[in-house]
Amino acid sequence: MTNNRQRHVNVAIFVPHAGCPHRCSFCNQHAISGAAKMPSPEELQKACETAILTRKTDAAHSEIAFFGGSFTAIPRDIMVCLLKAVREFVRGGHFKGIRVSTRPDAVDREILELIRDYGVTAVELGAQSMNDAVLSANLRGHSADDVARASELIRGAGLELGLQMMTGLYKSSDESDFETARRIAGLKPDTVRIYPTLVMENSLLASLYRAGEYIPKSLEQAVEQSARLLRFFELEKGIPVIRLGLHSTGDMQKGLLAGPFHPAFRELCESLLYYETALGLLRREMPGGGRAEIAVNPQAVSKMVGQNRSNIKKLRQAGYEVFVKSDPSVKKFDVLYIM
């Protein structure tokens, strides 16, 4: 699972605000993607060729992904042109498929059959919330039922289903966010992405923020909430979370006004899960505190230790002098008590 998540997208192609019939409260797509114009077929082919030469994984873990707009809602001739430009790389065995993102109300059987014929293998829906009041407040222009209907159509077309949710949206709450997670899990997606809401310049949220009508979550609050959601999806439901937190670009950071952004957001969330697991384990094994040795998977040692040894310091404050060892037999998110 870990390698698939880390290598899930090898060529990310942004289609700037293309196909979107609405401008949602949080949207400043140019700042988020850094894209100002539609890529040409030549640019797409060059990006694929460069990825083939520089990637460090095989075709089984490689995809071409179109993000940034509502792919199935852009003009048909442009959409077909984009897919034609890259599908030969899939047919040639260089990539396992093509992934696109779109709106739940921009999906029907006919469009799914068309994009499947041009090599698309996965469709991600920007659900964002499964609460109709939250969707309306953020000017999404679709309902939770639209998400469920589109998800069923995507599965029926034999395509991989990805669902994206946002936490901390305008008029949302921790309770409505977790209910969104439960309803998304009930749709049985193959993958999930979780994006804490950020306030971007030139967005409706920016106006609401400046007027004092919207307060974004702090980084600490967002990490605590997202760690809980990560535990829910991956550990309880077995659904891979392939992205946690917005990808950092220079344009995105320039356009960021407020909100819980961190370039290593996922690592902060995973580190919190390791801390909570370790603390619970130590309290069971050594209720009186003291010196302890624990083990985690080699890929998780830095997350167990925490940034700037934060987890070790917190465990010390709780009465435990902890030494972390690596053990390849320990599963992801597990912590083994040694002595």
Contact (CB, 8 A) for 128 and 192:
no
pLDDT at 6: 44
pLDDT at 107: 97
Burial of 92 (0-12, 13-18, 19+ CB in 10 A): exposed
Q: For 19-46, how does the pLDDT look when each residue is reduced to its tens digit (9 = 90+)?
A: 566 679 998 755 454 456 789 999 999 9
pLDDT at 192: 99
Question: Measuring CA to CA, which residue among 181, 174, 253 is closest to residue 217?
Answer: 174
Residue 139, both tokens:
């000017």
Query: Which stretches in the chain have pLDDT values below 50?
Result: 1-7, 31, 33-34
Question: Measuring CA to CA, which residue among 152, 126, 149 is closest to residue 139?
Answer: 126
Is the four-CA dihedral 56, 60, 61, 66 of positive or negative sign? Answer: positive
pLDDT at 49: 94
pLDDT at 58: 76
pLDDT at 239: 99
pLDDT at 4: 41
Alpha-carbon distance of 9 to 99, in angstroms, equals 9
pLDDT at 312: 99
pLDDT at 5: 44
Burial of 245 (0-12, 13-18, 19+ CB in 10 A): buried
DSSP state of 61: G
As a whole number, the mean pLDDT across the chain is 92
Alpha-carbon distance of 337 to 330, in angstroms, equals 11
The domain made up of 2-262 has a fold known as TIM Barrel (3.20.20)
Contact (CB, 8 A) for 283 and 226:
no
In order, the DSSP letters of 155-205 are HHTT-EEEEEEEES-TT--HHHHHHHHHHHHHT--SEEEEEE--EETTSHH
pLDDT at 152: 99
Helix (H, G, I), strand (E, B) or coil at 54: helix
